[in-house]
Amino acid sequence: PYVIAAACIDVMDRSCVEECPVDCIYEGDRKLYINPAECIDCGACEPACPVQAISQDRRVPEDQAAFVADNARFFSHPLPGREQPLGAAGGAGVTGTVGVDTDLVAYWVA
Ligand code: F3S
Ligand code: F3S
The bound ligand whose nearest atom lies closest to the alpha carbon of 55 is: 2
> What is the Cα–Cα distance from 33 to 51, expressed in whole angstroms?
15
Of 42, 55, 68, best ligand 2 pocket probe by most atoms within 8 Å of the beta carbon: 42
Total structural domains within the chain: 1
Nearest residue to 82 via CA among 69, 96, 70, 98: 98
The CATH number given to whatever domain includes residue 65 is 3.30.70.20
> What is the Cα–Cα distance from 78 to 86, expressed in whole angstroms?
7
> What is the Cα–Cα distance from 87 to 106, expressed in whole angstroms?
20
What's the domain range around 93? 2-106
pTM over the 0.90 mark? yes
Average pLDDT score over the chain: 96
- Is the CB–ligand 2 distance for residue 45 below 6 Å? yes
Q: Per-residue pLDDT tens for 27-79?
A: 999 999 999 999 999 999 999 999 999 999 999 999 999 999 999 999 999 99
